[in-house]
Amino acid sequence: MPKKVIIAGGGTGGHIYPAIAIAQGLKMKFPDIKILFVGTEKGLENDLVPKAGFELKKIRAKGFKRKLSLENLSTLKEVALGGIESLVLLKREKPDLVVGTGGYVAGPIVFFASMLKIPTFIHEQNVKPGVTNRILSCFVDKVAVSFPDSAKYFPKSKVVVTGNPVRQEIVLTEKLKAIKELGLDAEKPLVLSFGGSQGALRLNEAVLELIDLIKEDSTFQLFHITGKKNYDDFISKLEYKGINPLCLGHIKVRPYVYEMHYAIAAADLVVSRAGAITIAELTAAGKPAILVPLPTAAGQHQDYNAGFMKKNGAAVIIKDRELSGKRLYEMIRSLISDKNRLIEMSAASKKLGRPDALDRILREIVSLMD
């Protein structure tokens, strides 16, 4: 009889992309396996999971406010109802294993699965774990972490360091092929800047100023991804400054890049936020970075992710409040002009990468289903 696995994780891409990677890995390993995703009505999983070809069931889930609030009373009701929905779902589906990848929705599903003696596995993407996974670690059978520095937050006997799963194209794409595909100059260093799949307003503002500074300085190439919703406004602001990026051969601006592996492979230096999946992809490809942690990220987890990269020599950090085009320009010029330092940072980044993360995760999952 085919095995059945429930995967619970949602809200942001940082929780959903690893979940989808795990599901796809299980499908490749066991073509007959049945996989069901559990999410909420509002998370990105509603778009990403069906597009990946998996079934999605929805339950109620909500996080408590960190401060005392009347809203927590309604949240308590939602949590209770979500718990009941989780129990009903688990008893109906009878999974052989439940996997949690973070987000509020993982809480009730994984907790009640453990209470029903169903094997349970959670994966933590960030250096500093979220509250949900820290609580769940007391009940689950196995905890996979992406960074060695995360192990101290969990029961020692349950922890295995696996890394964050990344797409194989990130690891396998050759730099020269990527440069050709993107229509770039192989003779000049490339700086890739982006703010994640949704873009980042603060980064866009700084890059607008940066482009003004380098419009007549083609020492390096800039490939900037604004995010779809920010693109038109970004181009309008460039035009207001009298800049037409189509006329500047060393600057390319795109709203979104579906084949992101080409952009990463082509880059000599990356400017980005410090989300867990971004860090996983940069290290798998061995790319040095200037990281600008998102200050509003839950539990300041991006600060911890960026700090881990800096501590290991793979990145430098600009605080969000200190970000400007001038500061960015100075740091880029400093790094680009020091080839030895870029080589050292690249080697340090590569050393942190775990391109075999998915295989490690699948081994642990399979051991729990045997």
Question: In terms of domains, do 151 and 101 share one?
Answer: yes
- Domain count of the chain? 2
341 belongs to an annotated ligand binding site = no
Question: In terms of domains, do 135 and 175 share one?
Answer: no
Taking residue 233's Cβ as centre, other Cβ atoms within 10 Å add up to 13
Question: In terms of domains, do 209 and 307 share one?
Answer: yes
Question: In terms of domains, do 363 and 335 share one?
Answer: no
13 belongs to an annotated ligand binding site = yes
353 belongs to an annotated ligand binding site = no
Question: In terms of domains, do 226 and 243 share one?
Answer: yes
- Give the start-end residues of each E strand in 200-259: 221-225, 251-254
Question: In terms of domains, do 155 and 12 share one?
Answer: yes
Question: In terms of domains, do 17 and 30 share one?
Answer: yes
Question: In terms of domains, do 150 and 218 share one?
Answer: no
Report the CATH number that the domain containing residue 207 is assigned in CATH: 3.40.50.2000
Question: In terms of domains, do 151 and 279 share one?
Answer: no
Tokens of 44: 């990105």
CA dist list (Å): 316 to 185, 269, 270, 273, 288: 25, 11, 11, 12, 9
In DSSP terms, 322 is beta-bridged to none
Helix (H/G/I), strand (E/B), else coil: 282: helix
pLDDT by position in tens, the chain (length 370): 679 999 999 887 888 989 999 999 999 999 999 999 998 888 888 888 999 999 999 987 655 445 555 454 455 566 678 778 999 999 999 999 999 998 888 989 999 999 999 999 999 999 999 888 999 999 999 999 999 999 999 999 999 999 999 888 898 999 999 999 999 999 999 999 998 655 588 999 999 999 999 998 889 999 999 988 899 999 999 999 898 877 788 999 999 888 899 999 999 999 999 999 999 999 999 999 999 999 988 788 999 999 999 999 999 999 999 999 999 999 999 999 999 999 999 999 999 999 999 999 999 999 999 7
In DSSP terms, 124 is beta-bridged to 145
- Give the start-end residues of each E strand in 150-291: 159-161, 190-194, 221-225, 251-254, 269-272, 289-291
Question: In terms of domains, do 187 and 332 share one?
Answer: yes
101 belongs to an annotated ligand binding site = no
CB 222 within 8 A of CB 263: no
Among 300, 257, 267, 362, residue whose Cα is nearest residue 5: 362
302 belongs to an annotated ligand binding site = yes
Q: What single string gives the DSSP state of each residue in 109-155?
A: HHHHHHHTT--EEEEE-SSS--HHHHHHTTT-SEEEESSGGGGGGS-
Helix (H/G/I), strand (E/B), else coil: 349: helix
Q: How many CA atoms lie within 13 A of 284 on its CB side?
A: 28
157 belongs to an annotated ligand binding site = no
What's the domain range around 107? 4-165+355-369
CB 293 within 8 A of CB 274: yes
Q: What single string gives the DSSP state of each residue in 169-188?
A: HHHH--HHHHHHHTT--TTS
Q: Residue 105 and residue 110: Cα distance in Å, rounded?
A: 9
- Contacting residues for 257 by C-beta, under 8 A, at least 6 apart: 194, 225, 263
The per-type count for the chain, helices as H runs and strands as E runs, is 15, 13
43 belongs to an annotated ligand binding site = no
Among 38, 7, 1, residue whose Cα is nearest residue 21: 7
Q: Residue 38 and residue 102: Cα distance in Å, rounded?
A: 12
Question: In terms of domains, do 327 and 192 share one?
Answer: yes
Question: In terms of domains, do 178 and 279 share one?
Answer: yes
